A and B are shown apart, each in its own frame.
Chain A
Amino acid sequence: MKGVPATASGRYRRIKTGLACLLLGWFFLVPFLRWDRGPDLPGQAILFDLPGRRLFLFGWEFWPQDLPIAVGLLVGAASLLFYATALAGRVWCGFACPQTVWTDLFFAVDRFCEHRRIPPVLVKIAIALLTGFGFACWFTDAPTLAGRLLGGSAAPGSYGAVLIIGGLTWLLGVYAKQRVCLHMCPWPRFQAALLDRDSQVVTYQAWRGESRGRKRIPLREDLGGEPGGTRGDCIDCTRCVAVCPTLIDIRDGLQMGCIGCGLCVDACDTVMDKIGRPKGLIRFDSETNANAKSWTKTLPRPFAAKPMLFLSVAVLALGAALFAMLTLSPLRADLDPQRNPLFVRLSDGGIRNDFLLHIQARQPGLSTLRLRLAEGEAGLLRLASSGDHIGAETVDVTLDQRELRERLLITRPAGADAKGRSPLHLLVQDARDGRLLGTVETQFWGPES
């Protein structure tokens, strides 16, 4: 079929198929994992809750201000990618990139439908829409999404996601295919900088392949053929070109168009098997080794300086992110000085500052919190909504839907030093066991003289 590469079979084809199943399964099924968080919170294990501006990840809940963790994870993931590339070449492109996985899937559809009188275009549209649906599942309650979409009650964003991601899947996987890798994707340009002569790339061992020719031309003597033979191991069957998803000829040497998928390796090994010649005319190998005309391939060198550099960055970034995740504060508390006026003078000579207290709890179980000032800081606390006029050393507040927004009034009694600006620390404790959950630092303002 025009534009559809031929099938290859062998080691790399098996790895690719297995990995594709794993990745597609991950993409489509993970949103359906459940995680019990109690009655008021969504029960989906991984959920990007965009309207609620939060991300649920099993026992974790992330808020926009936790963004540094995402930065750590992304830097870590990028460094791992660099590590894998410096070590083993374009493994990302050839095996794990969504563009590769989905393009491969659509090629499989083409081959499957070819002799079965099923119009491939229908299957492809279905897969594209399913991909859009699978994407939308990460952002809303997955098990009920299909019903809501069909019943017309899903959020407009869900419909948009299905159509836009579905359309993009079609555009990139069915229409653009290898053109994405050749012309659109920035990653190959990065890779060129990461690879060196010792990186694993797909190589055609020209020293034993050339000069290529028909099978009936006698083999070169140094390869074990007859004296006077001129042909190398390559019988010019062009199987390696036929199976290539980016439609290139690897025998022209390493080139930008090669995504390192290894299918030509499989195809060529099959041929070598048939004509009774050693495998590995095309193989994953370093360029240095290919030039050294060696029959044995080199293996990746995990401890070389460059891969180790990337690995250490990855370990650092991921370690920092993990540390931040494990020490995530159970709540967020803000104390906004109202500053209008800066302070209030009371009739007994005390000085009062008014604050807007905003508390959001991350832990589902928290309900009553105790507020107090740090040791050595004089002041009485009271909520503006309470009837109490004097205030107390500690104030208990109750969260409503894990949140509290109240005016908190802090008074330094007459006699306590309240001149000018002084630091103030509000401690937030769990009222049940007095455990310290957070400290808010702010300023207390008093008269200049």
Chain B
Amino acid sequence: MAQRERDALTGRLTTGHEWDGIKELSTPIPTWWITTFLISIMVALIYLWLMPSFATTKSLEPGLLGWSSRGELREEQAIAAAAQAPWRQRLMAVPLEEVSKDEELRRFVQAGGRALFNENCAPCHGVGGGGQQGQFPALLDDDWLWGGKPADIIQTVRHGIRNTDEESRQSAMPVFGDSLSKEQIANVADYVLTLADKSKADSRAALPGAALFKDNCAGCHGENGEGGRDFGAPRLNDAIWLYGGSRDAIIHQITSPRMGSMPSFASRLNEESLRMLALYVHGLGGGE
């Protein structure tokens, strides 16, 4: 049986263990450490009791305080919405064209519009609205397929382009590769290439493609290639070519056309958000 005794030299207790005459001094864990340890255990128990800590078969046992991160998010969102409410009302109270005359309102619209744009539009049109050549049109320039007035933009965003929404913008360019010969298509392309050049305004009528253009293209794209917004038919007499402005690219587009589509945002964005978004896009630099 181990014998606890006091060590004569140091005056401290021994553990009572002895190995070949060597005894071990008792060095207990300090009291402050034990106390802290016990307090930590208590804190942990209290925490378990107050906060959601145990999973049941269906969900979490909510804990005494009933806290949840989702609830906290909802509260924060409610606070933000309440703070925005008077601004949103003010936004809806004025006609669309007048909004930018109210400097404070304009700032609210710009800030909100940027957030909406980054969330909904940036994936295709780019964070800065620069679009992507060959895929998505730029929103910063002064070229609009379906119109660049705020009301036009709202319409386009709300219902989208060429999708299943009944009111979405609809149009289709015929596949001329089926109806025109390769030579005819090349002639049309050559004609189209002259449209932007004012110096060829008179001479181009003599080109072999002129009549073909009049019969097949002018209906949508206009006599002089000025475009047709009712059909989302792009201008052909400017410097902007979404699907490329080279002769090959134009031939390709006539032969088997590419047409972009855009989803409908009616279910995601309410009226105020549509307004903010449209005015933000309108203010990017090309709005009409």
Task: Tell me the A residues contacting B by CB distance below 8 Å.
Answer: 338-341, 344-349, 352, 354, 384-385, 389, 407, 409, 414
Contact A344 B130 (CB under 8 A): yes
User: B244: shortest Cβ distance to chain A, in Å?
Assistant: 13
CA distance A339 to B143 in the complex (A): 20
Q: Is B40 an interface residue (CB 8 A)?
A: no
Contact B239 A384 (CB under 8 A): no
Residues on B with beta carbons closer than 8 Å to the beta carbon of A414? 239
Of the residues B128, B143, B239, contact of A340 by C-beta under 8 Å: B128
User: B61: shortest Cβ distance to chain A, in Å?
Assistant: 40
CA distance A259 to B284 in the complex (A): 68
Residue of A nearest to B238 (CB): A347
CA distance A354 to B286 in the complex (A): 12
Contact A389 B142 (CB under 8 A): yes
User: B227: shortest Cβ distance to chain A, in Å?
Assistant: 10
Contact A409 B239 (CB under 8 A): no
A to B CB contacts below 8 Å, 8 in the list: A340-B128, A344-B130, A344-B140, A344-B141, A347-B142, A347-B143, A347-B238, A414-B239
Q: Is B250 an interface residue (CB 8 A)?
A: no
User: B100: shortest Cβ distance to chain A, in Å?
Assistant: 7
Contact A341 B128 (CB under 8 A): yes
Residues on A with beta carbons closer than 8 Å to the beta carbon of B195? none
CA distance A295 to B138 in the complex (A): 93
A-B contact count (CB 8 A): 55
Residues on B with beta carbons closer than 8 Å to the beta carbon of A346? 141-143, 239-240
User: B177: shortest Cβ distance to chain A, in Å?
Assistant: 28
**Interface size class of chain B, counting residues whose CB lies under 8 Å from the partner chain:** 20 to 34
CA distance A348 to B240 in the complex (A): 8
Residues on B with beta carbons closer than 8 Å to the beta carbon of A340? 126-128, 130
Residues on B with beta carbons closer than 8 Å to the beta carbon of A341? 126, 128, 130-131, 138, 140
Residues on A with beta carbons closer than 8 Å to the beta carbon of B240? 345-347
Q: Is B283 an interface residue (CB 8 A)?
A: yes
CA distance A389 to B238 in the complex (A): 17
CA distance A341 to B141 in the complex (A): 11
CA distance A384 to B283 in the complex (A): 6
Q: Is B106 an interface residue (CB 8 A)?
A: yes
Contact A348 B238 (CB under 8 A): yes
CA distance A344 to B284 in the complex (A): 11
A-B interface, 4 closest residue pairs, ranked by CB to CB distance from nearest = A341-B130, A340-B128, A347-B238, A349-B239
Residues of B233-280 at the interface with A, using a CB-CB cut-off of 8 Å, are 235, 238-240
Residues on B with beta carbons closer than 8 Å to the beta carbon of A384? 283-285
Residue of B nearest to A342 (CB): B130
Residues on A with beta carbons closer than 8 Å to the beta carbon of B286? 344
CA distance A384 to B284 in the complex (A): 7
CA distance A273 to B131 in the complex (A): 95
Residue of B nearest to A340 (CB): B128
Residue of B nearest to A354 (CB): B285
Check A344/B126 contact, CB under 8 A, given A354-B140, A414-B239: no
Of the residues B128, B143, B235, B285, contact of A409 by C-beta under 8 Å: B285
Of the residues A339, A345, A389, contact of B239 by C-beta under 8 Å: A345
Residue of A nearest to B127 (CB): A340
Residue of A nearest to B227 (CB): A347
Residues of B42-59 at the interface with A, using a CB-CB cut-off of 8 Å, are none
Contact A345 B126 (CB under 8 A): no
Residue of B nearest to A414 (CB): B239
Check A347/B285 contact, CB under 8 A, given A338-B128, A341-B126: no
CA distance A333 to B83 in the complex (A): 33
User: A218: shortest Cβ distance to chain B, in Å?
Assistant: 63
Of the residues B100, B130, B131, contact of A385 by C-beta under 8 Å: B100
- From B138, B140, B196, residue with most partner A Cβ within 10 Å: B140
User: A279: shortest Cβ distance to chain B, in Å?
Assistant: 63
User: A199: shortest Cβ distance to chain B, in Å?
Assistant: 54
- From A339, A340, A414, residue with most partner B Cβ within 10 Å: A340
CA distance A190 to B285 in the complex (A): 62
Residues on B with beta carbons closer than 8 Å to the beta carbon of A352? 140-141, 285
Contact B235 A347 (CB under 8 A): yes
User: B245: shortest Cβ distance to chain A, in Å?
Assistant: 10
Residues on A with beta carbons closer than 8 Å to the beta carbon of B106? 385
Interface string of B191-234 (1 = CB under 8 A from A): 00000100000000000000000000000000000000000000
Of the residues A338, A345, A407, contact of B141 by C-beta under 8 Å: A345
User: B152: shortest Cβ distance to chain A, in Å?
Assistant: 16
